[in-house]
Every structure is written in C-alpha cells, then in structure tokens.
C-alpha cells in the first residue's frame, strides 16, 4: 500500500473531506510533496506555524534541548529550566496581574485546566460561553462549545453551562453571582472570524467584576502575534483573569498553557484535592521551542508587519465571487456565497499550489492565516493563485 492508502486504511478518519495533501518536507511558508509539489501554506496547520515551518531558531532550541534531556517527570515536580524560562517570558508579554503559568499539552487541556481552576477558586458551579464558540474537543471544552450539532451525540455533557451571543452587550445580563467564569474567544475563530468591539469587552469586564466572575480568554487561535498584537485582547484595552493559549505557542511543537494570577492559581496546590495533573504538560522540548518562538516574534518584528500584510491580502482579493473579508490581522475569513461555491475553489487552489480550507462553523468562508513570515511578494503570488482558482471554477 502507498502512503495515501495506508492513511485511509489504518488511520482513524476525522472527516468525510480530508485534504489528503501528502507532505514530505516543510520550510517557511511552503510545504513540499513527494512528487515535486510545492504549496504555499495559507492555514499554518490552523494557526500553529506563526513563525513559519521549521524556523531555524526553533530547530536550534529543540536540538539544544535534545542534547540535555527529554521527559523527566510529571509537570510541577522537578525544576526544569525550559519551563521556568518560558513561564517568565510569557509573563513578560502580559499585564503584571497575569504572573503565573500552568503548562499543559494542548488547547483543549488548557481550557479544561482553566475551567477547573475557576470552579475551585470561586466555589461556584456555572459557566457561560458563546454561541458558535470552539474551545476544544474534550468533554469539558466540548460542553462550553457553542455549536449544538457537534455536541448532541455526546450528551450528557457538563451541567451548568449556558450560552450568550458573542459581542452582544445586552446578553451580558445573564452573567450572575453563580457564574464561576465566562469563557470567550477574544476573536471567534471557527465561527468564521468574528470581532467584538472594545465597548463589548469593557462591558464584559465590568459585569464579571460586579458578579465575582472570572473572565477567561481563549487565545488559542488568536494569540501569539496572529492579529498584529502579541495577544489579541491588547486590541481592546482590558485585562482578563485567565488567558488560555496553545497552537502558535510551540512554533510547531505541542504545548499549551493557562495563565492567571499567582493567588488564583494558588488554590491548585491545596492538598489533598488534586489540581490538574499532567504527565507531559510543558514538555521540555516543546518549552524550549516555545521560548524560541516568543523570541522570534519579538525580535524579528513579525507582529508589527501583520496589519500591513493583512491590508495587502484585502487589497488583492477582489472579485465578484468574494462577498466580504472579515479579519483581525492575519486571522482572515474570505466569504463566498456558499460551501458549494467555495469547496471547488479551494480544491482548485490546492491543485494550483495554495492551501486553504474553511471553518468548522462557517463553511462559506475561506481560511486565510499564513505564517506571519510570509513576504509581500508571496502574498501577491498566493492571491494571484486564489483569483486564478476562482476563474478556473467560474470562467
Ligand atoms: N480553542 C480554540 C479557539 C481553538 O481554535 C482550538 C483548536 N482549533 C482549541 C481551543 C483546541 O485546541 P487543541 O486542538 O489544541 O485542543
């Protein structure tokens, strides 16, 4: 059997529409196939490769750690410098109040940890999240997810969860003194890139303060420079109680974190109740890669260029078939009439050498979230291919 046959025969499938792109190597913004195929990657493994594939400084950090040790002990017992240095670097990017980092393996696990922490700290039972939110695929993170179709097969899910509409100030009244936490993506990703206003976030912060509710921001997809600020919430001038991150954090390696105040996080160490135990959380190799990723984002001034690059995409992606473009920096959704119109365009673009896809809860829109290292020339090249793909499907 060849690789494609093995993929279909022995790997559990997650969708009826796997992209089935066979990759032998990746470098920068490009993926390379076994038969000389060369693709521009406009999705970055869903917001992961913000510093590009195999950034030399990430590889160097990984290699350096490989020479020292791999896994030593479950998270939180031994003193491992990659973890401590990463925690310090993360805190340096955040407001002073967010000074304590819990390292885990993924976005879903970070959400689970943040939810447990909020329950434990507040002693309250309920959560509020948003319609059309995506927070992960484990039972807790699925429970706060905002799409019924994805949840119905897995009931009963966690009790005490209700949903409000993202960005709608009047819905904030539903937050009350029984609410442990509001969990919200700063910018809704899988809903197809929705951006709330500064007024909304200020009203949300105020309502959480009034009701003694923790405000948890999911920055798994929008953090790590993707929107033109290190953290997306910096666009809106407020400070959350807990920040959750993963994806772009590892520069291609698996890692996640939830970050809070030392006093809040302190409840996890009150024995004998277990806090959150994780064997591989903050794996030293991933932590070293993550520290390098932060340094690259800050030193190579990638974040400063995000807005300009996003504007270039918007200026170039003009076509009667394109209905709208929603974005915050290089987290972009290009809207078409329907999935039926979009899907053949995506297939044609891949055929022509540009990889894009659609969103979990918004299948009429094309995902455009390239590595932040993409150059202006490469943006011209990618947009020309997308327009060519549209013309090919709808001559
Ligand atoms: N939150 C958001 C906003 C996400 O986009 C994702 C992943 N798409 C997650 C959480 C879950 O992350 P993971 O797949 O690493 O568990």
- The DSSP string of 36-60 is S-EEEESSHHHHT-TT-BT-HHHHH
Domains, the chain, ordered by start: 3-54+302-393 (3.90.1150.10), 56-299 (3.40.640.10)
Distance 18 CA to ligand 1 centre (A): 18
Q: What is the mean pLDDT of residues 198-212?
A: 98
- The DSSP string of 106-149 is SHHHHHHHHHHHHHHHH---EEEEETT----SSHHHHHT-S-HH
Q: What is the pLDDT of residue 272?
A: 85
Complex ipTM value: 0.99
Mean pLDDT for all residues in the chain = 97
Q: Give percent above pLDDT 70 in the chain.
A: 100
Q: What is the pLDDT of residue 17?
A: 84
* 65-86 pLDDT per residue, tens: 999 999 999 999 999 999 999 9
Q: What is the mean pLDDT of residues 349-376?
A: 98
State the Cα–Cα distance between residues 273 and 348, nearest whole angstrom.
54
* 258-309 pLDDT per residue, tens: 999 999 999 999 888 889 999 999 999 999 999 999 999 999 999 999 999 9
Q: What is the mean pLDDT of residues 10-25?
A: 94
Distance 136 CA to ligand 1 centre (A): 5
Q: Give percent above pLDDT 90 in the chain.
A: 98
Which positions ≥6 away from 111 have C-beta within 8 Å? 135, 136, 138, 140, 141, 144, 183, 218, 220, 244, 258
Q: What is the mean pLDDT of residues 19-25?
A: 96
State the Cα–Cα distance between residues 111 and 38, nearest whole angstrom.
36
State the Cα–Cα distance between residues 152 and 314, nearest whole angstrom.
37
Give ligand 1 pocket residues (Cβ under 6 A).
46, 106-108, 111, 134-136, 185, 189-190, 218, 220-221, 246
State the Cα–Cα distance between residues 299 and 293, nearest whole angstrom.
10
Distance 245 CA to ligand 1 centre (A): 9
Categorize the per-residue pLDDT at 59 as very low, low, confident or very high, splitting at 50, 70 and 90.
very high
Q: What does the DSSP 8-state code read for residue 186?
A: S
Distance 141 CA to ligand 1 centre (A): 9
Residue 371's Cβ-count burial label (10 Å; 0-12, 13-18, 19+) is buried
* 290-301 pLDDT per residue, tens: 999 999 999 999
CA-nearest residue, atom 1 of ligand 1:
135
Say what the pTM is. 0.98
């Amino acid at each position: 059997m060849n690789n494609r046959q093995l993929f279909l025969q022995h790997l559990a499938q997650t969708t009826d529409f796997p992209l089935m792109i066979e990759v032998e190597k990746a470098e920068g913004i490009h993926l390379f196939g076994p038969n000389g195929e060369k693709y521009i990657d406009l999705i970055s493994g869903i917001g992961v490769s913000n510093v590009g594939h195999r950034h030399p400084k990430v590889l160097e950090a990984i290699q350096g750690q490989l020479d020292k040790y791999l896994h030593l002990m479950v998270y939180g017992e031994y003193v491992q410098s990659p973890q401590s240095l990463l925690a310090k670097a993360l805190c340096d990017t955040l407001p002073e109040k967010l000074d304590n980092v819990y390292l885990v393996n993924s976005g879903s696990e970070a959400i689970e940890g943040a939810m447990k922490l909020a329950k434990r700290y507040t002693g309250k039972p309920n959560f509020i999240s948003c319609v059309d939110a995506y927070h992960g695929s484990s039972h807790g993170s699925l429970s706060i997810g905002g799409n019924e179709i994805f949840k119905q097969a897995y009931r009963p899910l966690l009790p005490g969860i209700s949903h409000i509409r993202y960005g709608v100030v009047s819905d904030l009244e539903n937050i009350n003194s029984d609410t442990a936490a509001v969990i919200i993506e700063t910018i809704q990703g899988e809903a197809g890139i929705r951006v709330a206003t500064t007024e909304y976030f200020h009203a949300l912060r105020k309502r959480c303060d009034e009701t003694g509710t923790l405000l948890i921001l999911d920055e798994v997809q929008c953090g790590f420079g993707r929107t033109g600020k290190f953290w997306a919430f910096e666009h809106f001038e407020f400070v959350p109680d807990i920040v959750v991150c993963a994806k772009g954090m590892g520069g291609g390696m698996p890692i996640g974190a939830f970050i809070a105040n030392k006093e809040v996080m302190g409840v996890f160490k009150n024995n004998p109740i277990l806090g959150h135990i994780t064997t591989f959380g903050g794996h030293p190799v991933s932590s070293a890669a993550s520290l390098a990723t932060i340094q690259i984002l800050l030193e190579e001034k990638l974040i400063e260029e995000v807005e300009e690059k996003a504007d270039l995409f918007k200026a170039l992606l003009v076509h009667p078939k394109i209905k709208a473009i929603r974005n915050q920096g290089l987290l972009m959704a290009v809207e078409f009439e329907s999935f039926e119109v979009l899907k053949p365009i995506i297939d044609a673009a891949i055929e022509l050498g540009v990889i894009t896809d659609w969103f979990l809860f918004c299948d009429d829109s094309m995902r455009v979230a390239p590595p932040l290292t993409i150059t202006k020339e490469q943006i011209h090249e990618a947009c020309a291919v997308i327009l060519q793909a549209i013309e090919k499907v709808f001559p």
